[in-house]
A and B are shown apart, each in its own frame.
Chain A
């Protein structure tokens, strides 16, 4: 029996986020016939913004509940303080998030794995893609919220490290009522050599952005390069049916249309168990379930030292609805397949191609995304506001 502690987040923006992740974990464990071999103890860490709450609850799970593994659905930088606690206790920490942020250091913590959907990696690829076009000029257009994570920096660096030239930065207000693209429009009308927009929005800000940018896009022939959350199919449910998105593309870690057996099984399992459509959140949970299943198998074979279990987990790729993912042995950060997707009309997403050499791209990404010195950003888990 594996005792699994889960530090659950809360989100008013995406109320089902925590439950969807939990369902993903459970359904994958059931698929492996391991659900009854796992005892769950959960606790809530709100938006993941209080270091004290995260630390004391993680410590309580270890010292009082005697869990074997803790899944912390929290930002990677908010969990770095936990590494000594887990290493000293011979327990495994599995940090789950969307990869909107990056660690301060790529050094591998002995008994911690950070698993994500690699949003920053995807935005970096998207930035590089935009720079590969003939016109190197681009305006960065971000929501105030999304800009506070390294995925924004990654997108800009992906663009600028490949000869892209930033010509304008537009950051929208945090409050939706104050959302406006007017200054951007004025700039684009006056500077017709900027036709490319690097766009980073999520949820209701993504809805508002699409609604406001479409007329501008048509009038000024703009090409949009977008973040994974802007390719999220759940936007379909809220955007007007007659929306006519054109010339929009970006890298995403996953899409429901991916044609692989694991994805079919994943979507069916989630639908059957919850009567809901699979999404990014259930995918994150499903993949965490795969890691937990593998941990159980390693522990069953007699390997009980947490650091050795983590090393074993870095040795093989995992089959996933996104194709595959791996745990990087040098950093203990996971990375996986990435797909170039185009987006048309009413967020009709079509997978154009798969990133060919993921390992090489990941190595380059890590080398470029080494941030020295002080940096600022949001502390809460991405999408947990």
Chain B
């Protein structure tokens, strides 16, 4: 049995449950984050102080040298990456005995890239998941050690799904820890890259409601996909740009001749209700504006009235 020692590279709170799993078993030699990430620094510093594990702050310009030095100093058997934003040079990948292993918070090979959770939601996928894979020279192309899936619930926001995936990854961390500790090899299976698709960073258009194209369910999914990190899905009405943070479908429209985006109600009693392209009534519960978050029932106060059109 190896005496397992890992360095963890991370950049997002989604990694915290997994980090706790490795910390609990005393297997962490050091944790490294980009220096600019003050949020993670704030979360990790007290946690690591308690267990006397160093937190390394990597500078974007010098991270290659800093990381290489850290591997020389702490001599980990393996380096784990959880949402780490910097590319690891090939010569560093082979330094730890068991290489680098990445936690990709999406399904591979069909959802490569830096924002898999968002793209699973925007693509209306039925399932999301976490893929734990070896790191090679490509991005998200290494051999898969394990993959677990979970269904995306219609009520899942980005934040809720992210939390579920964080805990799913923690469960996988427990299995990975056993494999790395007890096994003489790190078992992994080649990806079928013929099914691979790489998703870039989303553009503003990807996050905007297209009232004339999108059915009610698609709008709900888009709004949920933007909640909370983007504050909402973009839209505009009366030359006023705003974000829609929470919506629900409340039934079918009796009147079907009006254009999609048509405001059916905008009052305190009914709230803000809009017609969709598939003749559904969409109730807008929460709206984000530069002035703050407001309930749909208050949109009348901002001048939105029946027969206005969202575009």
Does B171 touch A at the CB level, under 8 Å?
A: yes
Does B188 touch A at the CB level, under 8 Å?
A: yes
Are B181 and A87 neighbours in the complex by a CB distance under 8 Å?
A: no
- Residue tally, chain B, CB below 8 Å to A: 19
Are A63 and B1 neighbours in the complex by a CB distance under 8 Å?
A: no
B232 → chain A closest CB, angstroms: 28
- Residue tally, chain A, CB below 8 Å to B: 20
Secondary structure call for the A interface: helix
Report how many A-B pairs have Cβ atoms within 8 Å.
Answer: 50
Within 8 A of B (CB), among A93-148: 104-105, 107, 110
Q: Which residues of B contact A216 (CB under 8 A)?
A: none
Chain B 262-299, CB within 8 Å of chain A: the 1/0 string?
00000000000000000000000000000000000000
Q: Which residues of A contact B145 (CB under 8 A)?
A: 84, 88
Does A272 touch B at the CB level, under 8 Å?
A: no
Does A85 touch B at the CB level, under 8 Å?
A: yes
Chain B 140-179, CB within 8 Å of chain A: the 1/0 string?
0001011011000000000000000001000100010011
Does A80 touch B at the CB level, under 8 Å?
A: yes
Q: Which residues of B contact A104 (CB under 8 A)?
A: 171
Q: Which residues of A contact B149 (CB under 8 A)?
A: 107
Contact A55/B185 with A81-B175, A105-B148, A107-B149 known, Cβ cut-off 8 Å? no
Which listed residue, B171, B182, B184, B187, touches A87 by the CB 8 Å rule?
B187
Within 8 A of B (CB), among A35-69: 51-52, 55-56, 59, 63
A51 CA to B180 CA, complexed, in Å: 12
Which listed residue, A51, A52, A84, A105, touches B187 by the CB 8 Å rule?
A84
A86 CA to B148 CA, complexed, in Å: 16
Does B85 touch A at the CB level, under 8 Å?
A: no
Q: Which residues of B contact A373 (CB under 8 A)?
A: 167
Are B148 and A51 neighbours in the complex by a CB distance under 8 Å?
A: no
A86 CA to B187 CA, complexed, in Å: 8
Which listed residue, B148, B167, B179, B189, touches A55 by the CB 8 Å rule?
B179
A111 CA to B149 CA, complexed, in Å: 16
Q: Which residues of B contact A110 (CB under 8 A)?
A: 189
Cβ-closest chain A residue relative to B188: A88
Q: Which residues of A contact B89 (CB under 8 A)?
A: none
A307 CA to B258 CA, complexed, in Å: 53
7 pairs of residues in contact across A and B, judged by CB atoms under 8 Å: A59-B184, A84-B187, A85-B187, A87-B187, A88-B188, A107-B148, A110-B189
Q: Using a CB–CB distance below 8 Å, which chain A residues touch chain B? A: 51-52, 55-56, 59, 63, 80-81, 83-89, 104-105, 107, 110, 373
- Across the A-B interface, the 5 shortest Cβ-Cβ residue pairs: A88-B187, A55-B182, A81-B178, A85-B187, A84-B187
